[in-house]
Amino acid sequence: MKPGFLMGLVAGRSVTRPGRAFLWVSQDGQRHASWHVYVLIWVAPVVFALATALLAFDSWIRTHGTVPATGEVVRVYEWDGEYSPVFRYTWTDGNETEASTGYRDAGWNFPVGSRHAIRYFAEARRDVVLEGPHNWYVARMIGLFTLAAFALALALHGLLRRWLRRGARPGGPAEGGKA
């Protein structure tokens, strides 16, 4: 960003487009906003909404596009107080196989030999999914960011519209009246 860029926007001149800023006041006193302002206001909420949708779809696939099974803990890996259990379960071809969740969590220090509800992907031997609400946490958190971003965008949009409406009025300075 070039020095003076923000001051150019505030002062009504553009650094990138000579003669025009993101927000400007025309000769007749009418206030204007470039379409770029609307893009800047709404880009974050839209991106967060798309991310929420993609993460929710991924969570849905992990919980509904997998085969339920019961897995027996055969060992538990530990990193800095977080644990990743390895489960033995019977795969679709009838053979026993082992897999971990691919994630780690402080609450997953399961005793060896304990049995837990898991889900596995039938099309390939890969990580298993440990059932529980944690599968939806990331989508929920990004969803909360989405709501906050939409609230902020609505507020900014409202402020912008208010600023635009307070432009030239009959009898205002552009028509020789009092400001």
Q: Using 50, 70 and 90 to split pLDDT, how confident is the model at 109? A: very high
Same domain for 103 and 42? no
Higher per-residue confidence, 28 vs 83: 83
The pLDDT score that the predictor gives to residue 96 is 92
Residue 143 lies in a domain: no
Residue 103 lies in a domain: yes
Residue 117 lies in a domain: yes
Residue matched to tokens 């085969």: 67
Alpha carbons within 13 A on the beta-carbon side of 63: 13
Position 114 pLDDT exceeds 80: yes
Distance CA 18, CA 25 (A): 14
The pLDDT score that the predictor gives to residue 16 is 45
Same domain for 120 and 153? no
Position 57 pLDDT exceeds 50: yes
**167 conformational bin, left if phi > 0, alpha if psi -120 to 50, beta if neither:** beta
Percent of all residues in the chain with a pLDDT value above 90, rounded to a whole number: 54
pLDDT digits (tens, 9 = 90+) for 124-152: 888 899 988 888 999 999 999 999 999 99
Element containing residue 174 per DSSP (H, E): none
Q: Residue 33: give the domain boundaries.
A: 5-57+149-175
CA 76 to chain centre: 32
CATH code for position 127: 2.40.50
Alpha carbons within 13 A on the beta-carbon side of 80: 1
DSSP string across 28-45: TS-EEE-HHHHHHHHHHH
Among 141, 122, 80, 129, smallest CA distance to 103 is for: 129
DSSP 105: B
The pLDDT score that the predictor gives to residue 171 is 55
Q: In the chain, how many domains are there?
A: 2
Residue 70 lies in a domain: yes
Same domain for 117 and 78? yes
Tokens at residue 43, please? 């880009």
Residue 170 lies in a domain: yes
Same domain for 48 and 78? no
Number of neighbours of residue 61 by Cβ within 10 angstroms: 12
Distance CA 103, CA 141 (A): 18
Mean pLDDT, to the nearest integer, of 10-14? 50
The pLDDT score that the predictor gives to residue 179 is 47
pLDDT digits (tens, 9 = 90+) for 73-101: 999 999 999 999 999 999 888 899 999 99
Residue 109 lies in a domain: yes
